[in-house]
Amino acid sequence: MPEEKKPAQDAGEAAPRPDGDHRALAEASPDDVSGYAVLEDGVPVTEVRADGIFSAARWARDHGYRILSLLSAYDDGKTEFGVLYAFVKPANTPGDFAEMRLKVRMPRKDEAGNDLEPECQSIVDVFSAADWQEREMYDLYGIVFHGHPALRRIFMPEGWSGFPHRKDYREPEQFIAMRDGEDIVLKTQEDGSW
Amino acid sequence: MVGARDVRDQIPATFDAGRLKTVKVDDRHLMELNMGPQHPSTHGVLRLKVKLDGEIVVDVEPIIGYLHRSSEKLAENMNWVKFIPLTDRMDYLSAMHNNHGYVLAVEQLLGGPDEQVVSERAEHIRVFAAEMSRLCNHLFWMGTFMLDMGALTPLFYALRERETALGFLEELCGARLTFNYFRFGGVKFDLPDDPTYLPRVKTFLADMPSKVDEYQRLLKRNDILVGRLRGTGPLSRDEVLDWGITGPMLRASGVAHDLRKVAPYSIYKELDFDVPTATESDCYGRLVVRWAEMVQSVRIVQQVIDRIEKRDLEGLHLNPDYAGGKILRVKAKGEAYSRIEHPKGEYGCHVIGDGKLQPIRVKVRAPSFANLQVLPIMARGQKIADLIASLGSIDIVLGDVDR
Amino acid sequence: MASLTSFIDQILPGTPHWLDATIAAVLGSVIVFTVVLTIGGLFTFVFRRIFARMGNRSGPNRVGPNGWFQFLADGLKLISKEDVRPARADRLAWGLAAYVAVAFTVVAWAPIPWSEDIYFTNIGTGVLFILALSAVAPLGEMLAGWGSNNKYSLYGGIRAAALDVSYEIPLLFAVGSVILITGSLATQDIVTEQAGLWFIVPQLLGFVIFFITGLAKAGLVPTDLAEAESELVAGFTTEYSGMRFGMLFVVLFSNVFFISALTTMLYLGGWQAPFVEWVPFLGGFLGPVTGLFWFVLKAGLVSFVVFWVWTTLPRVRVDQYLNVAWKIILPLSILNFVGTAVMVRTGVLG
């Protein structure tokens, strides 16, 4: 579960402050940035709003972080969905590594308690590599990436209903596969077999 | 929600059988050929929907998911350590690296007091196993790539070497393909007690550069091969970076971005090796880069063996106090992502835990998945034979693509 | 054939001549067919052995003495398989393709001289007969490609057509150069004309051209594009199973010997023994079958080279090979032909 981690030495002090490129991003687009944290592996991550990730990603790319290293969604089962992005600078010399991480958190319920479907901006126009990554996250978590040119399922067969990696996912009782005009219906039996 | 196009309407509600017939695109009649999940050279169950204008590929759409086993979802029902064998089965041709990436990520979560370290000896054994696995991967890739080109013998030469290397790994951990070797805090077994083990490995490694030389002599000056590979599947440097390509494909376009050098993990900082690059990312460049990487892997393993034999390395192969002595029932809390230089590119595991035995999320950043996206860009405008060459040069394993 | 007819006439006295001739013809065809298919079958085994040894493996070595009966086992297996016909295949084209490919390839063997006295026929237009019939064989591939109703097969058939047409012309020019020297189309004459000097010496360029174009026409690596396994699954043979596939497969291998036999006949002296002027022993040490021995040895060596090339070289891309055919090999073959004509006219050769 993502939380602001206080390093052991700094126990009792205030939350970590962004510096370096993270501070520059926070200053450049303060409306998009919604938080800052440092993960357990010591790498800082800037939390960005779901409708600000596109410009934040573009900011990152314009500042040299050209390789999309990670686009990973998660469902923490309790309160939120999230997508973690990691962008990396291509390096030619040893030790020259630089990485920038952004995170989008999408709550499951709004203030009134209604269910929310996770939505986020697509960064495909900035990083073409996000194409399949976002399709995977849509397929498995149902996160709709607005702006993606063809957001279809990638692993599951087309026509599958439900998003398998969600914590509240239940396998469908029936899986109907169409083939050449004739239906093949596979039905889950009571004991769970087909 | 701000967005360029509202895609909700475009998400298909029903299954489209997608009949294969000629399609009319811009006044041309294109033939749609399906290189189906079963095909001699798609390296696994990959489906390619190819639109052809005669022999020229106008478009290709890779369709994946035939080997999707939802490993990442399974992780949420398993212990942290039970997931290690599952990582083996993703990229099953270089399983040590899959282990390594996952174990590194979780060790970040378990990191804390000073006992939570991986001992020097364990680190050396880890690099030894990993680089041997890289050698096996590149050998197998070369063999199958040549097979796709129609050259039948390099496969057997490559397999001959690979057999020996796999034999050594079998003596090390008991398995040839899915090793299940790494653990949090070290590796499962120490090096074999057999005193001839390291000398035998050293003999094998001493021969390896001449074997790589043999492959190069057989293939590098072969006009047919060069004619088919040069200029095939080209990618410019900007395209490579834009599409998030990592690994030998990235290095073939001149960027020496090797995570073992730029973001060293384990003991790579102390080892002496080069990062081979090529000037142009086409099939030939990627072949040359991987050949050179084989030689560099040999060099690394030789140094590691040297250090194991000559220096007095501290620690055991597995720290018994790691995680309070409960290695098999670790409870990790937090979020981390750590990356390694997998033979196919950047591999990493994004892990989230909340202090329980089961992870909340394990996401595997699969290099084959990320690299496969670029196939349409590489293959457009080229011939069917070049499509096969381009696909082979990406070096994918469907277990990694689909997980 | 004349001798076979008279032989039958002798053992069946009292039968009319036409009956003898008919029986002789049928018997002769059966013999040709058997020889060709046996050689083809044996070569499937021989190739697998050579390929294996070159790849540090053993190859088939279980069935029969050292594995030599492997092809019989394969044949038995293929015969016992179901002949699966694709439902929407063009019945006539798909069905006929295998027969066409086999028939024309087998018949083309007839004029090849195995020895001074051992041959199936020695018609005056032997070489023309061979070339004409082997030019028809690609028709079988194209029929298979079209009739299978399968896009992979179609690609295989189209490639076969393109390749065979492109390489036909240089082949004809190369063979034509040899005919210019001998002045005769009869195959036995071509061999006997090489008594003092094998044609490979004055026709080195022609030899190389013939070898390359022969490989291309036979559909062998590096130009096995019509059947490129890694790209087209199995090319034009995709929809064939059982003995139909067996026939196509065996014919592919018998073509290897066919090309080798033609090469031997045209350029390597056929059944003539080498160095017979200095070592006359070589000319007759096996009595009447000496010629057969030399012929088989030479053709076998050329076949080995063909297998060697097959094992080693990767596959060429279609457009590259067509480029080479039209831009390099064709001009060279014309040059060879004209040069030979000049040399013959001025009396330097033949």
Q: Are residues C156 and C280 in the same domain?
A: yes
- Higher pLDDT among residues C1 and C214, named by residue: C214
Which of C46, C79, C112 terminates a domain? The answer is C79
Q: pLDDT class for A174, splitting at 50, 70, 90?
A: low
Residues 75-94, chain A: which have Cβ within 8 Å of B? 75-77, 84, 86, 88, 90-94
Looking at chain B, which residue has its C-alpha nearest residue C316? B224
Q: How far apart are CA A59 and CA C157, in angstroms?
A: 54
Total tally of structural domains belonging to chain C: 2
- When pLDDT is averaged across residues C233-261 and rounded to a whole number, the result is 81
In a domain, C350, yes or no: no
Q: Is the pLDDT score of B17 beyond 50? A: no
Q: How far apart are CA C331 and CA C338, in angstroms?
A: 11
- Domain map of chain A by residue range? 8-156
Q: Are residues C95 and C241 in the same domain?
A: yes
Q: Is the pLDDT score of B5 beyond 50? A: no
Q: Give the domain extent around C176.
A: 81-345
Chain-chain contact of B6 with A91 (C-beta, under 8 angstroms): no
Q: Is the pLDDT score of B13 beyond 50? A: no
Least confident stretch, B289-298, B330-339, C329-338: B330-339
DSSP state at residue A156:
S
Looking at chain B, which residue has its C-alpha nearest residue A122? B3
In a domain, C146, yes or no: yes
| Identity of the residue in C54, C56, C231 whose CB atom sits nearest the CB atom of B385 | C231
Chain-chain contact of C313 with B150 (C-beta, under 8 angstroms): yes
Assign domain B71-402 to a CATH class. mainly alpha
Q: pLDDT class for C167, splitting at 50, 70, 90?
A: confident
Which of C63, C79, C95 terminates a domain? The answer is C79
C-alpha closest to that of A59 among A33, A28, A38, A85: A28
- Which chain A residues are closer than 8 Å to B335 by Cβ? 1-2, 39-40, 84
Looking at chain B, which residue has its C-alpha nearest residue C222? B150
Q: Are residues C43 and C163 in the same domain?
A: no
Q: How far apart are CA B138 and CA B398, in angstroms?
A: 16
Check if the beta carbon of residue B232 is closer than 8 Å to that of residue B145.
no
- Which chain B residues are closer than 8 Å to C162 by Cβ? none
Q: Are residues C229 and C301 in the same domain?
A: yes
Residues 225-244, chain B: which have Cβ within 8 Å of A? 241-244
Q: State which amino acid sits at residue A14.
A: A
Average pLDDT, whole number, for chain B?
85
Check if the beta carbon of residue B138 is closer than 8 Å to that of residue B290.
yes
Q: Are residues C247 and C147 in the same domain?
A: yes
Phi, psi angle pair for A38, to nearest 5°: -125, 125
Which of C79, C112, C147 terminates a domain? The answer is C79
Give the tokens for residue B45.
Answer: 């169950």
Give the tokens for residue A134.
Answer: 């976002």
CB atoms within 10 A of CB A122: 25
Q: Are residues C126 and C40 in the same domain?
A: no
CATH entry, A8-156, from 3.30.460.80, 3.40.50.300, 2.40.10.220, 3.60.21.10 = 3.30.460.80
Hey, is the C-beta of B34 within 8 angstroms of any chain A C-beta?
Answer: no
Chain-chain contact of B149 with C314 (C-beta, under 8 angstroms): yes
Rounded to two decimals, the ipTM of the complex is 0.84
First to last CA, chain C: 30
- When pLDDT is averaged across residues C142-153 and rounded to a whole number, the result is 79
Q: Are residues C66 and C97 in the same domain?
A: no
Q: Are residues C16 and C133 in the same domain?
A: no
Check if the beta carbon of residue A122 is closer than 8 Å to that of residue A146.
yes
Cis peptide before B62 (omega within 30 of 0): no
Distance of CA B81 to the CA centre of its chain: 21
Q: Are residues C57 and C88 in the same domain?
A: no
The pLDDT tens digits for C21-68 are 788 888 888 888 888 889 988 998 988 898 888 877 888 888 888 888
Residues 259-278, chain B: which have Cβ within 8 Å of A? 259, 261-264
pLDDT for residue C17:
77
Looking at chain B, which residue has its C-alpha nearest residue A95? B262
- When pLDDT is averaged across residues C305-316 and rounded to a whole number, the result is 84
pTM of the model: 0.83
The pLDDT tens digits for C192-239 are 888 778 888 888 899 999 998 888 887 776 666 655 554 556 667 777
| Identity of the residue in B68, B105, B241 whose CB atom sits nearest the CB atom of A90 | B241
Q: Are residues C88 and C44 in the same domain?
A: no
Q: Are residues C46 and C187 in the same domain?
A: no
Q: Are residues C88 and C228 in the same domain?
A: yes
- B–C interface: beta-carbon pairs under 8 A: 77
Interface mutation vs chain A, best among B337, B358, B371, B396, most A CBs within 10 Å: B337
Query: Nearest CA to CA, how far is B184 from chain A (Å)?
Result: 15
DSSP state at residue C326:
I
Q: pLDDT class for B296, splitting at 50, 70, 90?
A: very high
Strands B361-365 and B345-354 turn out to be antiparallel
In a domain, C180, yes or no: yes
- Higher pLDDT among residues B318 and B97, named by residue: B97
Check if the beta carbon of residue B181 is closer than 8 Å to that of residue B99.
yes
